[in-house]
Amino acid sequence: MANFTIRDIARIAGVSTTAVSFVLNNKPGVSEATRQRVQEVIQRTGFTPNAHTRRLNLRRSFSFHVVLYWHDYDLFNQFALEIMHGIFQSCKELGYDVTITFVDETMDCTALMESVRSKTCDGVILSQIEDSIFFARLQQEEIPFVCVDSHVKEDPSVPIVEVDYYQASYEAVKHLCRCGHKQIGFLGPATPLELRSATFGGYTDALREEGLVCNPAWISSIDFAAGAAGKYFDKLMDTSSLPTAFFCTGDAFAIDLVRSAQRHGIAIPDDLSVISIDNILVSQFIMPPLTTMTFNKELLGRRAVEVLYSMLSANEYENVTLIPTTLCERSSVKKLSY
């Protein structure tokens, strides 16, 4: 079989090489008749453009760079890896390669920019990165980017793909109320502030609608660290009575809390009910299996790629994309009767 080029396809179809490029990349700018004629020639010749040709013709690298925050606590990383799966799958379908930079709290903005510049990419996906200075540097150098699950403030210049954490929190607490719980604690991190605001807002609004109030001792502000939720619960056992249920802003916190409660001889859910958000893989295997608000984490990654691709292809995008959640009932919440 002959090795055809885009120039050959254009000559056979009687069109310009630009028209062939538009057809190959499914872009507007050619008539339907021209599109069909080019596609017929491509099918007849068996032409397949190689990656190098695509890059030269469109002046793109066909690569996205993912900057991913890597936690010390592995349970939080489970969540990030499921998002990455969606990113990989969507990029594969679009014909894009993926490069990754893992960062932690020790990497500053300058180091991040050096990492981005060192990679040849068309755009950047920031996963759980909330550095506004870094965003400004990317914008200054005109590098397209999108934030996924980064818990940043809404800004027309910063595209965001995020879980609807407010609604998830609201629905979780409402479920506890429907199960008869009136004393409900809140276990979540002090930062990021946007995550705290969304989850605590959903929690307090649900309680307010039910005419309930909460003991301040049952409201936590902990770190994103292994064992932080357990340490909070240990301290609570020494200083205060327990609510009948806890709402946790993530499965990792809930799992820590359940383990700590069980060490203290407290049965879940007979003595204490627990509900959370995320539905990471391990949440169905702990004892008892965790009731949680679930959502499609792969879809988070896919939406991030779609937004970035839209920015490059059409120079337009949805500023904020919220992923909805649904209740996944398991065995960690008890129905009370009064």
CATH superfamily of this structure's domain 6-58: lambda repressor-like DNA-binding domains (1.10.260.40)
At residue 331 the predicted structure's pLDDT band, cuts being 50, 70 and 90, is very high
6-58 and 165-294: identical CATH topology: no
Looking at per-residue confidence, does 301 or 20 come out higher? 301
Per-residue pLDDT, 51: 52
pTM over 0.75: yes
CATH superfamily of this structure's domain 165-294: Response regulator (3.40.50.2300)
Tens of pLDDT, residue by residue over 262-320, are 999 999 999 999 999 999 999 999 999 999 999 999 999 999 999 998 888 777 788 89
Mean of pLDDT values over 146-151: 94
Tens of pLDDT, residue by residue over 188-234, are 999 899 999 999 999 999 999 999 988 899 999 898 888 899 999 99
**Least confidently predicted of 4-18, 157-171, 239-253:** 4-18
The domain made up of 63-164+297-324 has a fold known as Rossmann fold (3.40.50)
Tens of pLDDT, residue by residue over 28-70, are 778 889 989 988 888 888 776 655 455 545 556 788 999 998 8
Per-residue pLDDT, 56: 46
Question: Residue 113 contacts by C-beta under 8 Å, 6 or more apart in sequence?
Answer: 134, 137, 138, 141
Task: Sketch the domain layout of the chain as residue ranges.
Answer: 6-58, 63-164+297-324, 165-294
Tens of pLDDT, residue by residue over 122-147, are 899 999 898 888 999 999 988 899 99
Per-residue pLDDT, 1: 44
